[in-house]
Amino acid sequence: MKRDQIRTLLKGIETGDPEAVAVVNEVRYIQHNPQTHEGSEGLAALFQRLSKTSPRVNIVRAFEDGDFVFAHTEYDFASRKIGFEIFRFEDGRAVEHWDNIQERQGPNKSGRSMVDGPTEAVDLELTASNRTLVRSFVESVLIDGNLDQLTDFVDEKAYAEHNPRLGDGIALLRSALEAEDNGYRRIDYQRIHRILAEGSFVLCVSEGSYSGEHSAFYDLFRLANGKIVEHWDTTEKIAPRNMWKNDNGKF
């Protein structure tokens, strides 16, 4: 399965195994991490170099959606980080990559880490409806700010939150979404770029600003009984265009 190939690829950062990169078509590979030079160093050489620094890579959960694989991963390089990785496949090989990474923080007010919780998708027959529900939630609540609709989408009795600044329950979520900096929303979602889903898990990739800084939001939701019951995320500041190391764009 494609997800297993991506697990092997990401583990290659840790092992330095040159065979791990075989899944990537480097001739056609498009890199969307603005901090990564494109084509300056082959992946096999890069992984071999990184492996000498004794990195630790743990792929916590990974899912497939058509030509895409999306993974939730923790890294321990010079510092501990949490990331989401997205790969697009074409003709059986990975040809495009996006990610969103932040420093690991927490546990949060409810004692949850940024990665713990269920890892296996269920309710595969509900993939399409769960994707639609998350799109509606992000558009109506996070972008348009209709906070009175929170309970239409989120299970207020079962909601588990993994954001390190928050905790379980709708009250803390609503408070965070209401917060302002100088009259502007602190958490300001502006545009959805991609929604990927497998069964009970849905990843939404959005653009906006956090505390006034241009940011990318990756939100992973777990759904049950037609509502959101769990949430993980990373927020990453997007560097100014003149600091990008490739021209492919964050999204």
Is the model's pLDDT at 230 over the cut of 90? yes
pLDDT at 78: 79
Q: Are strands 68-76 and 80-90 parallel, antiparallel or unpaired?
A: antiparallel
pLDDT category of residue 235 using cuts at 50, 70 and 90: very high
pLDDT digits 0-9 by tens, 55-86: 899 999 999 999 999 999 999 987 899 999 99
Q: Which of 194, 196, 221 is nearest to 118 (CA)?
A: 221
Structure tokens at 248: 């492919």
CA distances to 21, 42, 208, 239 from 193, rounded to whole Å, are 27, 28, 11, 18
Q: How far apart are CA 207 and CA 251, in angstroms?
A: 8
* 4: number of Cβ within 10 Å: 12
- The dihedrals phi and psi of 103, each to the nearest 5 degrees, come to -65, 140
Ranking 10-14, 110-114, 164-168, 211-215 by mean pLDDT, the lowest is 10-14
**pLDDT value, residue 40:** 55
Q: Where are the alpha helices (DSSP H) in 99-198?
A: 127-137, 150-153, 170-178
Q: Which two tokens stand for residue 110?
A: 């409810």
Q: Which two tokens stand for residue 31?
A: 């890199």
What is the spatial distance between Cα 138 and Cα 189, in angstroms, rounded to a whole number? 8
pLDDT-derived band at 180 (thresholds 50, 70, 90) equals very high
CATH topology of domain 2-104: Nuclear Transport Factor 2; Chain: A, (3.10.450)
pLDDT for 216 beyond 90: yes
Strands of 79-163 (E only): list them.
80-90, 93-103, 160-161
Domain range list for the chain: 2-104, 124-237
CA 197 to mean position of chain CA atoms? 12
Is pLDDT at 22 greater than 70 in this prediction? yes
In sign, the C-alpha dihedral spanning 193, 199, 136, 173 is negative
pLDDT value, residue 44: 74
Q: pLDDT (tens digit, 9 = 90+) per residue, 37-50?
A: 766 566 777 788 88
**Residue 62 contacts residue 2 (beta carbons within 8 Å):** no
Give the per-residue pLDDT at 42. 67
Average the pLDDT over 50-56 and give the result. Answer: 85
Q: What is the DSSP string of 152-200?
A: HHB-TTT-EE--TT--SSHHHHHHHHH-EETTEESEEEEEEEEEEEETT
Do 196 and 134 form a contact (C-beta atoms < 8 A)?
A: no
CA 196, 202, 208, 210 dihedral sign is negative
pTM, to two decimals = 0.95
- Tens digit of each residue's pLDDT (9 = 90 or more) over 98-146: 999 999 999 999 999 999 999 999 999 999 999 999 999 999 999 999 9
When the pLDDT of each residue in the chain is averaged and rounded to a whole number, the result is 94
Domains 2-104 and 124-237 share a fold: yes
Alpha carbons 5 and 57: distance in angstroms, whole number: 15
The CA dihedral of 121, 204, 232, 87, to the nearest 10 degrees, is: 70
Position 202 confidence tier, pLDDT thresholds 50, 70, 90: very high
CATH T-level assignment (fold) for domain 124-237 = Nuclear Transport Factor 2; Chain: A, (3.10.450)
pLDDT at position 224, please? 98
